[in-house]
Structure 1
Amino acid sequence: MALLRSQPATGRVLLRGDAPVIAAPRPLCVRNISACAYLEEKAPPSGPSAKPSQPIFHNQLEALKSMSVVVADTGELELVKKYHPHDCTTNPSLVYKALSMPENRHYLEKALAQDKRSPEHAKPGVVRPYSGVADQLSVDLGCELLKVVPGRVSTEVDAHLSYSMQATVDKALRLMELYAAHGIDPSRIYIKLASTWEGIEACRRLERQGINCNMTLLFSFAQAAACADAGATLISPFVGRIMDWYKAKEGRDFAPSEDPGVLSVRRIYNYYKAHHYKTIVMAASFRNVGEIRELAGCDKITISPNLLDELEKSTATLDRKLSPDRASTDVMKLSNMHEDMFNKLHGSDQMAVEKLKQGIELFAADQKKLEDLLASIAMAKVKENH
């Protein structure tokens, strides 16, 4: 297998045998701030006896880790254990997928048993009687993940609340209370919010209280600018879902370098770095490794297990495409963004409007599936006892 070497000054990864290059000091990477499970890169040798040398990588995954924090995009316990991540994530879809597996049914039964209130399904006017139990389940799963990872878990607020700032804040505080009841330090939790205007305002309030937020379902530049202005710890701009929309609209495929999702993340990254925002950019939702390669150097990159495997098997040259010291933007800093400005800018992007709405509906649907599953188990228990 060919071995790879990186040249940090330019970001180019060279095959063994190329002319040696003295490695420039690598920029400090902000750690311990992530929404999903990620695999930490190995630290280079240090100390008085360390000789300046160019790191050697065996594959593109290793090379990518020298430029970006590589994130494993999975919330299943067994996969998290397999990849030995530092942090991990959950969302309504991942929670439903994980907990609907037969081997995890005991988590549902435990959450129902912990619900000490009288059976809410019997109360008139209660539309979603098991939403609170679903919150408990998300926290229970998060606690199990925290036993595996040394870092943080990201837990998402109920997508049904995405258009209510106060309800989102209240739910976020409730989730933090549930974690506190398990003895979990708040510094180990990220609260994940949809990037609606209401979600962004909730983020602003939560961050002021010391609750770190990950802003998800992010498709437009307006969303990114507003999230940074609100002080979000991390954003997750989606690449593949943007490309999906344009592919359907234009009826054609896109080369990675012209991929609309790639271009969107690149624009956001450059804007953040040029204006010195601290918000971390974690590119998400990839459809192919070409998109990943075009964003090498992004703060963080979350990658599905199948694409991680593909990168690990590749020994091709990898170039660094994003770097803080090369970032530039022609967009002025959008400070003090207000709702009317946000609605005008975000509303002018048809793709973003449609994908945000679709993403919220999908997460809400999976949340309902989980609540329906809880209801069916609860009813079965009632029948057993009678």
Structure 2
Amino acid sequence: MSNLLEQLRQHSVVVADTGDLDAIRRFAPQDATTNPSLILKAVQSGKYDALVDQILDDVRGLETSVEDAIDEACDRLVVAMGQQILELVPGRVSTEVNARLSFDSPASIAKAYRLVELYEQAGIGRERILIKLAATWEGVRAAQVLEAEGIQCNLTLIFNFIQARACAEAGAYLISPFVGRILDWYGKADPGVVYTPEEEPGVQSVQRILRYFRQYRYPTVVMGASFRNVGEIQALAGCDRLTISPALLETLEGNGGLLVPMQIDAAGHDGALPKQLTEAEFRWQMNEDAMATEKLAEGIRGFEADQLKLEVLLREKLAGGVA
């Protein structure tokens, strides 16, 4: 019998949740996703030193402020890393807009344009990238504009159904509902409860989203993310896509047994689509969900903290003249 990873590929598109080129080569995923934390980790590994050196040399020649030079260096770095990833995967790479722009739709759109421009300058078309945005109300509105212009998006940091629904109504290409971080919240809130993978609130959240999208025939791709254990992945086999860390990919590859895909009861709905959410409805329902509100804010802060660490690292190298 084939291992769990081989079986999983028969039911879901496997995506690597990493910027580690060695891991991507080893596991041969269809796509890869990145975020500021993964970019920082990859840069700190030393594997991208030559690339960082070259980018800093290029921005030193720009007639601009140090802050603008660092911002430009960060953009060039994530695109250059995305370019290297795309040499190893047949599909797409997700490249994230700065978390600090999560509540600014115009600024998010402008940053997305810049990232797309840099990719196109490198000879990489829009069909190979996804612009990654936090699923705030402003992020969803930015995605709606970008999707209308042929720039497809990955809406991330999704912790509840209402975020997912808003993304589908906006025409988002793909959403990344988180699983493990939801479990983290419930585990902290009630540490005495032990869940089976199928009972986990994060797993059930993704299943609810899948059921709704399929019932109403939304084309938005559902990509489960943020896994804490292999059991969660097994429980979501059959989800459109699953983005998985190298450590869990290795565990899946090293284990056998029979993987049984989940069954989603999603009979087509012949009636009209529900009335689209208003901003007030979205914000109220987020307000009523303490877990989603807290985890979304925590996720944005965490990504911004790592973005700042990356900027400090680049600023020090830029000031020193050497990497």
Report TM bin, short chain: over 0.9
Is residue 120 of structure 1 aligned with residue 61 of structure 2?
A: no
Q: 1:299 aligns with which of 240, 250, 258?
A: 240
Q: Is the CA contact (8 Å cut-off) linking 1:239 and 1:283 kept in structure 2?
A: yes
Counterpart position of 2:216: 275
Cα deviations by residue, 1:91-129 (Å, 9 ceiling, x for unpaired): 1111111112223222222111222323523xxxx5x75
Q: 1:367 aligns with which of 307, 311, 317?
A: 307
Counterpart position of 2:23: 79
Q: Is the CA contact (8 Å cut-off) linking 2:33 and 2:243 kept in structure 1?
A: no
User: Which is further off, 310-319 or 132-141?
Assistant: 310-319
Gap change, CA 1:148 and 1:70, over 3 Å in 2: closer
Counterpart of 1:344 in structure 2: which amino acid?
W
What RMSD, in angstroms, separates the aligned Cα atoms of the two structures? 2.0
Query: Following superposition of structure 1 onto structure 2, how do residues 232-243 of structure 1 map, counting pairs within 5 Å?
Result: 232-243=172-183
Q: Distance in 2 between matches of 1:314 and 1:104?
A: 32
Q: Distance in 1 between matches of 2:96 and 2:227?
A: 20
Q: Distance in 1 between matches of 2:16 and 2:318?
A: 34
Alpha-carbon distance, 1:328 to partner: 5.5
Q: 1:203 aligns with which of 128, 140, 143?
A: 143
Counterpart position of 2:110: 170
Q: 1:159 aligns with which of 62, 81, 99?
A: 99
Cα deviations by residue, 1:172-231 (Å, 9 ceiling, x for unpaired): 001111111112112111101000000000000000000000000110111000000000
User: Which is further off, 58-67 or 179-188?
Assistant: 58-67
Alpha-carbon distance, 1:73 to partner: 2.2
Gap change, CA 1:70 and 1:144, over 3 Å in 2: closer
Secondary structure of residue in 1 paired with 2:47: helix
Alpha-carbon distance, 1:66 to partner: 1.7
Counterpart of 1:221 in structure 2: which amino acid?
F
Is residue 60 of structure 1 aligned with residue 4 of structure 2?
A: yes
Alpha-carbon distance, 1:314 to partner: 3.1
Q: 2:254 aligns with which of 302, 306, 313?
A: 313
Is residue 220 of structure 1 aligned with residue 160 of structure 2?
A: yes
Whose Rg is larger?
Answer: 1
Counterpart position of 1:9: none
Could you state the TM-score of these two structures normalised by the residue count of structure 2?
Answer: 0.93
Q: 1:288 aligns with which of 223, 226, 229?
A: 229
Counterpart position of 1:105: 49
Is residue 327 of structure 1 aligned with residue 266 of structure 2?
A: yes
Alpha-carbon distance, 1:308 to partner: 2.3
Q: Which runs of 5+ in 2 are unaligned?
A: none
Identical columns (%):
47
Counterpart position of 1:377: 317
Secondary structure of residue in 2 paired with 1:130: helix
Q: Is the CA contact (8 Å cut-off) linking 1:236 and 1:284 kept in structure 2?
A: yes
Counterpart of 2:245 in structure 1: which amino acid?
S
Is residue 150 of structure 1 aligned with residue 90 of structure 2?
A: yes
Alpha-carbon distance, 1:304 to partner: 2.0
Secondary structure of residue in 2 paired with 1:286: coil
Counterpart of 2:53 in structure 1: which amino acid?
E
Gap change, CA 1:355 and 1:334, over 3 Å in 2: farther
Q: Is the CA contact (8 Å cut-off) linking 2:14 and 2:30 kept in structure 1?
A: no
Q: 1:352 aligns with which of 280, 292, 301?
A: 292
Q: Is the CA contact (8 Å cut-off) linking 1:271 and 1:328 kept in structure 2?
A: no
Q: Distance in 2 between matches of 1:313 and 1:103?
A: 26
Aligned residues: 319
Alpha-carbon distance, 1:145 to partner: 1.4
Q: Distance in 2 between matches of 1:180 and 1:263?
A: 39
Cα deviations by residue, 1:48-79 (Å, 9 ceiling, x for unpaired): xxxxxxxxxx2322222222112232221111
Q: Is the CA contact (8 Å cut-off) linking 1:213 and 1:232 kept in structure 2?
A: yes
Alpha-carbon distance, 1:299 to partner: 0.9
Cα deviations by residue, 1:278-304 (Å, 9 ceiling, x for unpaired): 001111111111111211211111222
Gap change, CA 1:346 and 1:167, over 3 Å in 2: same
Counterpart position of 2:75: 135
Counterpart of 1:146 in structure 2: which amino acid?
L
Secondary structure of residue in 1 paired with 2:243: strand
Secondary structure of residue in 1 paired with 2:131: strand
> Which structure has more helix as a fraction of its residues?
2
Is residue 186 of structure 1 aligned with residue 126 of structure 2?
A: yes
User: Which is further off, 296-305 or 333-342?
Assistant: 333-342
Counterpart of 2:266 in structure 1: which amino acid?
A
Q: Which runs of 5+ in 1 are unaligned?
A: 4-57
